[in-house]
Amino acid sequence: MINENDTLLLKQIKTTNPEIYSLIERLQRGPTVTMSKFSHSMKNIISIISSSLQFIESQHPETTSYNLWPQLKSSTTYLVQFMDKEALYRDSAYIEVKPMNLLDLLWSIPDIMDDIYESDPDNSIRNYNYDIASNIPKIKGDYSKLKYAFIEIMKNAYEATSDNDTITISARIVGDLVAITIKDKGVGLDKDITNDVVEPYFTTKSEHTGTGLSIATRIARAHGGNLTISFEEYTCVTITLPL
């Protein structure tokens, strides 16, 4: 897996020797294209299985009383979600950079989160606190992928907190970077697994695929930035992006 030092080295090569950088990109895309075709075929097969299970259940309602039936359905659903996330992970390193308003994106995230968790059976809410500098200019980035990255971080914060807890979104300029931090005072993660949580498919939750933070990290690095996690009084996840 490409780490932060590799990313910095690639940025240097891109500047000093564009032809070699272009060759590296093509070599990287080769296995990605192969995996994409394989994943697409696998997802089609799993989707057929899922549809077949739904048909069987509709024609034979008694199957729902079988002990293993719910597990079979949930496992199939998980496989579909896993293949979707796997495709997102592969694609996350490739971005389309355009001028974008980062502040507009950050201000929109709480509304998006409320929509996502509107059907939460606990009917719990979160309070959002903003600490955003007013001098942050427009940046060059991939709006849709950065949006995905921030939402994945916010999901972790939401699920680590309880009803009426506060999640803080802050942004400020640090040198030639803008640092966006999402922090919460929730359950948090074990400090011993800080490095593991950004690895693909690592998860402490059985219902999750373990790709959220790894995808967010790849998106940040594709922009020439990074994602870091720190634990003090709060759990803080910070994405840095170049100005």
CA–CA separation, 147 and 108 (whole Å): 9
Structure confidence at residue 191 (pLDDT)? 57
How do 165-174 and 177-184 pair as beta strands? antiparallel
Least confident piece of the model among 27-31, 119-123, 197-201: 197-201
User: Which of 76-85, 158-167, 195-204, 207-216 ranks highest by mean pLDDT?
Assistant: 158-167
CA–CA separation, 144 and 227 (whole Å): 17
How do 165-174 and 226-231 pair as beta strands? unpaired
- CA-derived radius of gyration, the chain: 20
Structure confidence at residue 77 (pLDDT)? 78
- What kind of fold does domain 98-242 have according to CATH? Heat Shock Protein 90 (3.30.565)
Mean pLDDT of 93-119: 86
CB-based burial label for 151 (10 Å; 0-12, 13-18, 19+): middle
**Phi, psi of 120, deg, nearest 5:** -55, 125
Q: Please, what is the average pLDDT of the chain?
A: 79
User: Which of 23-27, 29-33, 120-124, 220-224 ranks highest by mean pLDDT?
Assistant: 220-224
In this structure, are residues 241 and 225 in contact, taking their beta carbons and an 8 Å threshold?
Answer: yes
Tokens of 64: 């729902």
**6-14 long-range contacts, Cβ below 8 Å, gap at least 24?**
7/221, 7/224, 7/226, 11/224
Q: What is the pLDDT of residues 90-100, one digit of tens each?
A: 777 788 889 99
Tokens of 99: 């001028």
Q: Which residue has the higher pLDDT, 220 or 50?
A: 220
With CA atoms as reference, report the closest residue to 76 among 106, 103, 96, 56. 56
In this structure, are residues 219 and 231 in contact, taking their beta carbons and an 8 Å threshold?
Answer: no
Domain ranges within the chain, ordered by starting residue: 4-91, 98-242
Confidence of residue 239 (pLDDT cuts 50, 70, 90): very high
Q: What is the pLDDT of residues 162-207, one digit of tens each?
A: 888 889 999 999 999 999 999 988 765 555 545 555 555 445 554 5
Task: With H, G, I as helix, E, B as strand and everything else as coil, classify residue 171.
Answer: strand
Mean pLDDT of 121-143: 86
User: Which of 12-21, 120-129, 175-184 ranks highest by mean pLDDT?
Assistant: 175-184
> Which strands make up the sheet holding 126-132, listed edge to edge?
126-132, 165-174, 177-184, 235-242, 226-231
Least confident piece of the model among 99-108, 109-118, 132-141: 109-118
CA–CA separation, 14 and 24 (whole Å): 10
